[in-house]
Amino acid sequence: MEIIHLSAECYPVAKVGGLGDVVGALPKYQCKAGHYAKVVMPLYITPFLNKNEWTEDFTGHTNVGDRWFDYKIFKEKNNTLGFDLYLVDINGLLDREKVYGYDDDSERFTAFQIAFLHWMNHWEHKPDIIHCHDHHTALIPFMMKYCYAFENLSDIPTVFTIHNAQYQGWMGWDKSFYLPEWDTWKKGLLEWDGLLNPLASAIKNAWRVTTVSESYLNELSYQSKGLEQLFEMEKNKCVGILNGIDAEVWNPATDLFLDHHFKIKNAAKSKGLIKDELCRKFQFDPSKPLFIFIGRLVAEKAADILPDAFLSTMYLFPNRLNILILGSGDELVEQQLLKLSDHFKDHIHVEIGYQEALSHQMYAGADFLLMPSRVEPCGLNQMYAMRYGTIPMVRNTGGLRDTVKDMGEEDGWGFLFNHASVEDINHTIGRALELYETDQEKMKKVREKMLRFDHSWENSIQHYMEVYESIIV
Ligand code: ADP
């Protein structure tokens, strides 16, 4: 089967969050399973671009609204990622250092999608599946059906995966001229709540829709930033497929970012050494349990309650634990956390920014990982933590609910709590402390259990194949 993945992110080319991890791994494992999966993404100015070799595959000329542009398609030469990678280069629009966050993002990603379809119009064959990820590629299913220029692509089945429905790519109708001439009778298939809504449009126009966990799919019908009714209406074409993790990149036995590697047998010792290194670096006492938080400092992740929560942790459990935070996002939260760590230097450290290496060391060296997310479509951090024998403390929502079982239940291995609140976080920290301080034997057992888990992609690939097969004509 030939599958073309379209995405704004793909690890290690460009990653902002979980989308990048998934698009960097899913095609690799599809290829390993004997399929021909490729990724097409925008060309950004990233270290990966300079470190690898490229061939120019195609040059075209097209437009987004009244901006005409030349674009180039570059193919990575050596199959470095385990699948064919194509970058769409549009001078002045895509070739920037950051993935998102520019005022003209709507124009940038619409141009990317148009260039891709324009290029595909020149192919001599048709792929079996076009698989679009998140709102940056969400106009493709509509354009393939209703833009006259792309009419001959309309019989290629499309799949749309929602990694995060919080971001929908909303545009005013004044931006509708970005799209190549389209059948205006079909305006309703672009619209939701009076706006041009790319995410809603993909839900309406893609042949099948997937989300990254079953619980998240259920939640979308009552909590999806205005799309609840749409999910209710379209639920028959939607399916929840839990993400896998790239067990090669995230492997405690070989991880390139770790100085000490481990399998079940030597986990306690190596994890201890990695923890010692982290504690030395951030001046913590390594005999105390190490709690970590990694992620975007945004409301979705409940980052806004972390400063208050950790302040009360310091008073409720004085001198009993250390907290290491890695993330960036909301400036106010960043400032509050930095201030807190200034005040409690011996017990709290905050690293603002994106640090892939440190994140691996934290998953490996910590005792507990906290994820109080208000919304968590799948969540990868808890799976990485478990893969490295670190106990997850997560809110009972979305993919967190589908991957963590509370220790209070038979054979459970993590901590679940119901509310993204200061009280629930501290109650759970209290439970974790009790475990750490009174039952190291249980901690060991739980760690060994988690190290045996298999969250690899091989399990999820089969579900995606079933979705593809259901629509291939
Ligand atoms: P989301 O995609 O909503 O941000 P996920 O849990 O699906 O959340 O994926 C987050 C990914 O981004 C994980 O690989 C996590 O380790 C990584 N990550 C998030 N913030 C940082 C950071 N500041 N430094 C390094 N890695 C980070």
Query: Which residues have C-beta within 8 Å of that of residue 432, sequence separation ≥ 6?
Result: 289, 291, 367, 368, 391, 393, 415
Q: Is residue 359 part of a domain?
A: yes
Q: Cα of 42 to ligand 1 centre, how many Å?
A: 20
Contact 89, 45 (CB under 8 A): no
Q: Which residues contact 292 (CB under 8 A, 6 or more apart)?
A: 323, 324, 325, 326, 362, 363, 366, 368, 369, 370, 390
Confidence of residue 271 (pLDDT cuts 50, 70, 90): very high
Residue 254 covered by a domain: no
Q: What was the pLDDT predicted at 357? A: 97
- For β-strands 238-240 and 290-297, DSSP reports them as unpaired
Is 44 within a domain? yes
Residue 90 lies in a domain: yes
Q: Are residues 62 and 164 in the same domain?
A: yes
What domain range includes position 373?
Answer: 267-451
pLDDT above 90 (res 473): no
pLDDT at 87 exceeding the cut of 90: yes
- Give the chain's domain count: 2
Take atom 17 of ligand 1 and give the residue whose Cα is closest.
Answer: 17
Ligand 1 pocket residue status of 394, Cβ below 6 Å: no
User: Is 123 within the bounds of a domain?
Assistant: yes
Gap between the Cα atoms of 380 and 403, Å rounded:
10
Residues 68 and 212 in one domain: yes
Q: Is the peptide bond before 286 cis (omega within 30 degrees of 0)?
A: no
Q: How far is it, in rounded angstroms, from Cα 455 to Cα 387?
A: 8
CATH number (domain holding residue 28): 3.40.50.2000
- Determine the residue type at 301: K
Take residue 40 and report the two structure tokens written for it: 């097409």
**Do residue 229 and residue 284 come from a single domain?**
no
How far apart CA 453 and CA 450 sit, in angstroms, is: 5
| Residue entry with tokens 């549009």 | 90
Q: What is the mean pLDDT of residues 452-459?
A: 92
- Look at the alpha carbons of 50, 37, 107, 114 in this order and tell me if their dihedral is positive or negative: positive
The answer to whether residues 218 and 357 belong to one domain is no
pLDDT for 407: 97
pLDDT at residue 417 tops 90: yes
Same-domain status, 277 and 238: no
Q: If DSSP codes are grouped into helix, strand and coil, which group holds residue 328?
A: strand
Whether the predicted pLDDT of 344 surpasses 90: yes
Give the Å distance between the CA of 17 and the centre of ligand 1: 4
My answer on whether 319 and 375 are in the same domain is yes
Burial 411-441 (b: 16+ CB within 10 A, else e): eebbbbbeebbbebbbebbebbbebbeeeee
The answer to whether residue 253 is domain-embedded is no
Mean pLDDT of the chain: 97
* DSSP 8-state class, residue 285: -
Q: Are residues 437 and 466 in the same domain?
A: no
Domain presence at residue 192: yes
The pick from 26, 246, 296 for probing ligand 1's pocket by mutation, whose C-beta has the most ligand atoms within 8 angstroms, reads 296
Query: Does residue 467 share a domain with residue 401?
Result: no
Domain match, 38 and 140 both = yes
Q: Are residues 446 and 464 in the same domain?
A: no
Q: Is the distance from CB of 140 to CB of 130 less than 8 angstroms?
A: yes
pLDDT at 459 over 90: no
Any atom of ligand 1 within 6 Å of the Cβ of 243: no
Q: Both 220 and 315 in a single domain?
A: no
pLDDT of the residue at 221: 95
Residue with the two structure tokens 């001198």: 319
CA distance 159 to 131: 5
Q: Which of 27, 26, 23 is nearest to 13 (CA)?
A: 23
Mean pLDDT to the nearest integer, 401-407? 97
Atom of ligand 1 nearest to the CA of 363: 16
Residue 249 lies in a domain: no
214 and 301 together in one domain? no
Identify the burial level of 312 via C-beta atoms within 10 angstroms of its C-beta, where 0-12 means exposed, 13-18 middle and 19 or more buried: middle
Statement: residue 177 has pLDDT above 90: yes
